[in-house]
A and B are shown apart, each in its own frame.
Chain A
Amino acid sequence: MISAGIDGGSRAIKAVLLDCRTRKVVAGGVRDQGVDHDGLARELLDQLLKKAGLARSRIARLVATGYTRNAIGFADTTVTEITCHAAGVRYRVPKAATIVEIGGQDSKLLRLNADGSVRDFAMNDRCAAGTGRFLEVVAARLNARLDGLGDLARAAKSPAPISSMCVVFAETEIIGLLASGASPADIVAGVQASIASRVASMIGREAKPPVVFTGGVAMIPGMADALAAALKTPVEIAPEPQMTGALGAALLACRQACGN
């Protein structure tokens, strides 16, 4: 029996097929998000099925999660990304006590119980300053590739302080920094520190280790270090961090299909 999880994020769609008996991932994939949320998700799912040599009828249950979860009409049900990320991280890193997830348009903090269930959570989705969108803006301003920002940050000698509380104003601040001779490397490192600091403020005094970092932004080199520095505790990156939500959705679908 196969279960499926689809995470319709703001920037990308992720999907996972899971063998419910072995609880092993059969196939997983990512594609860019677009206008037709339902159609794009369906295409991604069909690609994965084809890759795995499976017929659609083998899917016993499909759970959709993420920002566009309610637009995925062929899902059996929806579950929020909070619950799905907790399930996905629990599967990958069973000892996790705190999860930080940073995606394209929001960031989340999840506190977990000892059994991996969600104790409670906080979200920042009012402001782009603590999200991947900030990095996109910076990459565009510096004419750099998003996936190259980490390498750039590694060359930083003195991370530039970014004081603006708003991405729009921060962009202006970056222009000023460039004009004053700050290096792109220092600027990127400063932006990473700024995002990490914003996320850390959500956590307050309760960053119980182990802290696991997930979501698309976790793939950018340097972000985990920035987060660890802001939280003053080691941060572990979840394996395949971009896929955690979809994996959690597939695990929950499997649980629902099996009746537990």
Chain B
Amino acid sequence: MSGRAKRLTLDELDRLCRRRQAAGEAMPAYAGPLGRHVRDGDRRLLTLEYDDSPAALRLWNFLLTEEDRLHEARAAGKKIVGTMKDLGTVPVMAYALPNVVAFYPDGAWWTPCLMELSEGLFGIAQSLGLGDAFCPVRAMAGAFVNRAHFPIPDLATCSVGATCDDFSAIAQRLESLGYPITWWEMPSRRRPDPGEPGVTLPGGFTAPASQVALVRSELERLRAALARLAGSPLGDAELAAGIREANRVRALLAELRQLAYTADPCPMPALEMLIAEMLAIHFCSDREESAAVLAELLDEVHSRVSAGRGVLAERAARLFWVNPVADLRVMNLLEDCGARLAGTEYLFCHALDAIPEDLPPMEALARMALADPMVGPSADRAARVVRDARAMGAEAVVVSRIPGASHCALEGTVIGHIVRQELDLPVVELEVPPVADALWPTLRTRLEALVETVLERRKR
């Protein structure tokens, strides 16, 4: 538990870390001053500000050592699965096997931000025909080609169909370069027709039972592929155990989000919460450690809430944030402008809901996959935003566009219209590129103006 709660610069954080190390404080083997990652090229770390708690430091270290962890897993003879365009389904299956590690190659979309474009991933993608018109996740293709980041997976899976057009194109290009991909189809979720058997999905959407059956059959193919890779069967008992472990992570996150997004003063910065939420979809390549990292973070938040300590002033403007930002520094900016997070929809809110444990595991996973807000109409996603923004007491909504991402072209208008209609909240759209420095004044103006608008509404 920290004695205070505030944001630190990298220098301040590293000094604190060294003092703790010198004092003999216990830390995981992967932990240490974050400055070492700057020397490896993660220059963006120099411009970020960090929560001062040991729990947050552990979270950062856990995130930034993922590639090391994957290489160590490979060296230890474990099988590595790259689960592309998969927001929280196949990793649950993969981690049900003892000698398999799953990771999320799409996560390379943050590498150009962290390395401030010095790594050249976009340049490689460009040379493959994946230019600026594509989502920044095109950096993943560059990481496959230059092999300077994650190890090439033993099995790469990718959902396709009602998923991001950019990503499908990027993954197809990757396959054409000789990286075989096991595709699985995700149908476009629709409501059941009158008289058609339907299923209520986790999170509240409904879908025809036939769509659930299709996804289940696709996941069965993946189950077989994973079992072949691991050389051991992936039975229902193993899957059920894997679901329970995934739900343990999701439960920790659910409690963490509830506290962090509703308690006043805000007990955990937006930046650390963004990273924490990301653990839900792929466990940062270590499911057990993910749970431990989140449990420590939750303890810290509990203690801060009990003591009335926060990282921001009380009564900061409460923003609901839609889509993750390509430039992590924007999470600091929103707080600099007098705002705080009051809920998020980072493209995978379904992966924060518990997977049903009272159903056969493959049926439960199929329903969960189909509950992805991104595989249905934008109005469904907007409905989820409305529900969660209302529950978290948000006072405004920010739709953060990702340059080039096909889903961002129109969804902001739909989400904005429905949020205004249902909640009468101000909605502002931003566009955040991987390094947003050139846009800083205009991003600041939008966020400051939104905070002014919220504060003025309070007077009314």
Q: Is the CB of A118 within 8 A of B442?
A: no
Beta-carbon contact of A80 and B427 below 8 Å: no
Can you list, as one digit per residue, whether each of A85-123 has a CB less than 8 Å from chain B (1) or not (0)? 000000000000000000000100000010101111111
Q: Does A157 make an interface contact (CB < 8 A)?
A: no
- Closest B residue to A115 by beta carbon equals B460
Complex interface: chain A residues within 8 A of B396 (CB): 120
Let me know if B441 and A67 touch, CB within 8 A: yes
B420 and A82 within 8 A (CB): no
Instruction: Give the CA-CA distance A146 to B426 in the complex, in Å.
Output: 36
A118 & B453 in contact (Cβ 8 Å cutoff): yes
- Contact between A80 and B452 (Cβ–Cβ < 8 Å)? yes
Interface residues of B in 415-460 (CB under 8 A from A): 417, 420, 426-429, 431, 439, 441-442, 445-446, 448-449, 452-453, 456-457, 460
Question: In whole Å, how far is B52's beta carbon from the nearest beta carbon of chain A?
Answer: 27
A119 to B445, CA, bound (A): 16
Minimum distance in angstroms from B319 CB to a CB of chain A: 13
**Given A113-B460, A117-B460, also A123-B452 (CB < 8 A):** no
**Is B182 at the interface (CB under 8 A from chain A)?**
no
**Is A32 interfacial (CB 8 A cutoff)?**
no
Identify which of A80, A82, A121, A125 gathers the most chain B CB atoms within 10 Å of its CB. A80
**Smallest CB–CB gap between A58 and chain B, Å?**
27
With A67-B441, A82-B445, A125-B442 as contacts: A120 and B426 at CB distance below 8 Å: yes
Q: What residue of chain B has the Cβ atom nearest to residue A66's Cβ?
A: B445
- Which residues of chain A come closer than 8 Å to B448, judged between CB atoms? 80
Asked if A81 is an interface residue, CB under 8 A from chain B, the answer is yes
Q: How far is the CA of A115 from the CA of B457 in the complex (A)?
A: 11
Quick check: is B168 within 8 A (CB to CB) of the other chain? no
In the complex, chain A residues 191-207 whose Cβ is within 8 Å of any chain B Cβ: 204
| Per-residue contact bits, chain A 6-38, to B (CB 8 Å; 1 contact, 0 not) | 000000000000000000000000000000000
Interchain CB contact under 8 A, A118 and B429: no
Q: How far is the CB of B337 from chain A (nearest CB, A)?
A: 10
The complex places the Cα of A257 from the Cα of B445 at a distance, in Å, of 23
A256 interface residue, CB < 8 Å from B?
no
Are the C-beta atoms of A120 and B460 separated by less than 8 Å?
no
Question: By the criterion CB–CB under 8 Å, are B442 and A82 in contact?
Answer: no
- Residue total for A at the interface (Cβ-Cβ under 8 A): 19
From B431, B449, B460, give the contact of A126 (CB < 8 A). B431
**Bound: A83/B426 CA distance, A:** 13
Contact across chains for A80 and B460 when beta carbons are under 8 A apart: no
Picked from B413, B417, B452, B460, the residue with its CB within 8 Å of the CB of A82 is: B452
In the complex, the answer to whether A79 meets B452 with C-beta atoms within 8 Å is yes
Q: In whole angstroms, what is the CA distance A80 to B452 when docked?
A: 8
8 Å CB interface, A123-138 against B:
123, 125-126
Q: With A80-B448, A82-B445, A106-B442 as given contacts, are A120 and B456 in contact (CB-CB < 8 Å)? A: no
Q: Are B429 and A82 in contact (CB under 8 A)?
A: no
Contacts of B457 in A (CB 8 A): 117
Shortest distance in angstroms between B53's beta carbon and chain A's nearest beta carbon? Answer: 31
Contacts of A120 in B (CB 8 A): 396, 420, 426-428, 453
Provided the pairs A80-B445, A82-B445 are in contact, do residues A121 and B453 lie with their beta carbons within 8 angstroms? Answer: yes
Measured between beta carbons, the chain A residues less than 8 angstroms from B420 are: 120
Chain B residue nearest in CB terms to A69:
B445
- How close is A78's CB to chain B, nearest CB, in angstroms? 8
**Minimum CB–CB distance for A5 against chain B, Å:** 15
Return chain B residues, CB-CB under 8 Å to A125: 442
Please name all residues of chain A whose beta carbon is closer than 8 Å to the beta carbon of B460 when the two chains form the complex: 113, 115, 117
On chain B, the residues within 8 Å of A117 by CB distance are: 453, 456-457, 460
Which of B439, B445, B457, B460: most chain A CB closer than 10 A? B445
| A67, B441: Cα distance in complex, Å | 8
> Smallest CB-CB separation from B457: which chain A residue?
A117
Tell me how far the C-beta of A141 lies from the nearest C-beta in chain B, rounded to whole angstroms: 26
Known contacts A80-B445, A81-B445, A122 near B429 by CB under 8 Å: yes
Q: In the bound complex, how far is the Cα of B456 from the Cα of A106, in angstroms?
A: 24
A119 adjacent to B456 (CB under 8 Å): no
Cβ of B65 to closest chain A Cβ, rounded Å: 36
Q: Tell me which of A113, A115, A123, A204 contacts B445 (CB under 8 A).
A: A123
Most buried by B among A79, A83, A120, A122: A120
Chain A residue with Cβ nearest B459: A117
Taking a contact as CB atoms under 8 Å apart, the answer to whether A204 and B426 are in contact is: no
Closest B residue to A205 using CB positions:
B417
Q: Are B413 and A123 in contact (CB under 8 A)?
A: no
Contacts of B456 in A (CB 8 A): 83, 117-118
Q: Whole-angstrom distance between the alpha carbons of A214 and B329 in the complex?
A: 33
Within 8 Å CB of A204, what residues of B?
A: 413, 417
Q: Bound complex: CA of A55 vs CA of B460, how far in Å?
A: 36
- With A118-B453, A119-B426 already in contact, 9 other A-B pairs whose C-beta atoms are closer than 8 Å: A67-B445, A81-B449, A82-B453, A106-B442, A113-B460, A117-B457, A120-B420, A120-B428, A123-B442
What would 19 A/B residue contacts be, using CB atoms closer than 8 Å? A67-B445, A79-B452, A82-B449, A82-B452, A83-B449, A83-B452, A83-B453, A117-B456, A117-B457, A118-B449, A118-B456, A119-B453, A120-B396, A120-B420, A120-B426, A120-B428, A121-B428, A122-B429, A126-B431
Residues in chain A within 8 A of chain B (CB atoms): 67, 79-83, 106, 113, 115, 117-123, 125-126, 204
B residues engaging A (CB < 8 A)? 396, 413, 417, 420, 426-429, 431, 439, 441-442, 445-446, 448-449, 452-453, 456-457, 460
A-B CB proximity, top 10 nearest: A120-B426, A82-B449, A80-B449, A125-B442, A83-B452, A118-B453, A80-B448, A117-B456, A80-B445, A120-B427
